[in-house]
Homo-oligomer: A and B are copies of this chain.
Amino acid sequence: MFASDNWAGASDRVMATLVAANADQQPAYGRDAWTRRADAALAEFFGREVAALYVPTGSGANSLALATLQKPGGVVFAHLEAHVARDEAGAPLLFAPGTMLHLVDGAAGKIGVDELADALARYPDGGVHHGRPAAVTLTNVNEIGQVYTPDEVAALADLAKANGAAVHVDGARFLNAVASLNCDPADLTWRAGVDAISLGLTKTGAFCAEVVVLFDAARALDAQYRQKQGAMLFSKNRFVAAQVVALLEEDHGLGLARHANMCAARLAQTLEAAGAPPLYAPAANEVFAWLTDEAYARLAAADVLAYAWSPFSARHPERPSPAHRLHRFVTSWRTGGAEIAEVAATLAAAPA
């Protein structure tokens, strides 16, 4: 039940909005009324005009955003556990051929300021052989369930800008980050120096709703051609836009994210009490906990699925013992108290 938040399906409100969006004929390719309404919801959410491109997948959003920020010979800096580097089968390298990824470590799964400074220093001006900085991408919520604060984003963005690099956020669980920090989305993005964000709403509670948001209107036209050429332009875009509308209007999605975050906090307490200590206190809707294989086998037998996780970073706390393995538990809008109780009950017999 905790394998991933993309097992959860769509919320009732999303479903109802889809039905409403299907009432009549509407122009294709985003020239419809629902897309205009989604654009407005995004402007409201971010507190300013934005250029929005509705795309099919999170990998697509990241690839399109990074391609838009690229330049010839450009290097993209990412955390060494970043989804763009580890879980997208090279998509960003297909959509912008020649893109070099430079992977950087840091505490708690976040890009470290010192580590980024060291990495950027590898690319002095004029070094055509090495390439040049083009973008820094950070994941918020990050891959290990931790959250960058506005100040942390701004510190990395300042460094990036000083070295000629643009800033991108992979926001596959961005509403969970906003819910966790209880902050203004603007403070986590453009006010902190972010140029583009992949805003993922699929995991939050949609079927399929991913948006590339550009804060610099001058990049929009190129991005539109890249979107079409990248086969990411939906003909019946209104149905994606309707999901965005459902999730952003009246803070419906934020409410779902808060619920998921709360479930993760409770699950972490449950796991810790059962002898399965979390790697970090969960900041959003993911818990990474150490389990013995025997304990996980019992959970799996009770249909409580999690995902075995192999960290790349050298900066994580060490495993409690060689018998332990790290597992990722993800909560969602659909997670219920019964599922958490199941974990407690299963582990109660023989602790993890």
Contacts and interface: CB of A to CB of B under 8 A. Distances in A.
Given A7-B26, A10-B22, A224-B128, A230 B91 contact: yes
Given A58-B235, A89-B131, A94-B97, A226 B72 contact: yes
Interface string A187-206: 00000000000000011000
Interface string A18-53: 110111111111000000000000000000000000
A95 interface: yes
A56 interface: yes
Most buried by B among A58, A89, A98, A128: A89
Interface string A72-83: 111000000000
A231 B91 contact: yes
Interface string A256-283: 0000000000000000000000000000
Contacts of A26: 7, 9
Contact of A228 (B15, B23, B88, B227): B88
Contacts of A18: 15, 18, 207
A57 B89 contact: no
A113 to B, nearest CB: 19
A61 to B, nearest CB: 8
A24 B9 contact: yes
A-B pairs with the 6 shortest C-beta distances? A73-B225, A56-B56, A60-B231, A97-B97, A94-B98, A6-B235
Interface of A: 1, 3-4, 6-10, 15, 18-19, 21-29, 55-60, 63, 71-74, 86-91, 93-95, 97-101, 103, 122, 128-132, 202-203, 207-208, 222-236, 239, 310, 334
